[in-house]
Amino acid sequence: MDAQTQADTDPLTDLLNGVRTTGAVFNQSSRSGSWAVRFEDGSPLALAVPMHGPAWVRPHVGQPARLGPGDVAVLSGGAPYVIARDPVTGPDVIIRPGGRCTTRDVGTWGACGPDDTVLLNGLYTMEVGAPGRLLAALPPLTVIPEGQGVCPVSPAALEEATRPAPGRQVLLDRMLDLMLITALRSWFTRPGAEVPPWYRALSDR
């Protein structure tokens, strides 16, 4: 099988082809003490990455999961979820559609103490609707441990992308697409991955 034929039958390419965000929203925050943020933005896909310090993600259904620095959480389906310092703290910030904060400012990159958490969230928006086949293949919460997948976005890269300059939104959109593809490639190809039967069939040469 030549390289082109193999590429044409790559199941991950087939699954992700055409999945692109339009109007990606990034939330970046440095939090200290006891804190919790509830996301009610309805995004069909969202990513959360602690860049420094730990965090917990509590999905609408299922058990909470602890995230360490560099871990990537992918949340699918649009249901509300909470990201917090611990698994029980109630939210003091709520994020609405479009990344609007309806309580108090979420914060920005800045001075970070040794016990603080610096958290990056990327929220998907799509003009043509949610990618149904991809959402059907994903659980509500997927966690890719640091070392199994590389978050390709650094604070410096995000700072550059968020500058008020021409092309800003395109940069944010493509940055979030890259984060999602990198995370899902690690998740779908990990040893013992539980994937849909049609995905395994596409991998059968």
At 65-97, the pLDDT tens digits run 999 988 999 999 889 999 999 999 999 888 888
Residue 105 has pLDDT above 60, yes or no: no
* Bridge partners, 120 (sequence order): 28, 49
Hey, what domains does the chain have and what are their CATH numbers?
3-203 (2.60.120.280)
Residue 156: both structure tokens together: 């410096």
Give the E-state strand segments of the chain in sequence order. Answer: 25-31, 36-39, 45-52, 55-58, 65-67, 72-76, 81-84, 93-96, 100-101, 117-123, 141-144
Lowest mean pLDDT among 19-23, 56-60, 106-110, 154-158: 106-110
Tell me which H or E stretch contains 198.
helix 197-203
Residue 101 has pLDDT above 80, yes or no: no
Q: CB of 67 within 8 A of CB of 55?
A: yes
Residue 145 has pLDDT above 70, yes or no: yes
Strands 72-76 and 45-52: antiparallel
Residue 1 has pLDDT above 60, yes or no: no
The pTM for the full model equals 0.81
What are the tens digits of pLDDT across the range 17-62?
A: 777 888 888 887 888 888 899 999 888 899 999 888 899 999 998 8
Mean pLDDT comparison of 23-37, 67-81, 150-164, 176-190, highest-scoring range: 67-81
192: confidence class by pLDDT, cuts 50, 70, 90:
low
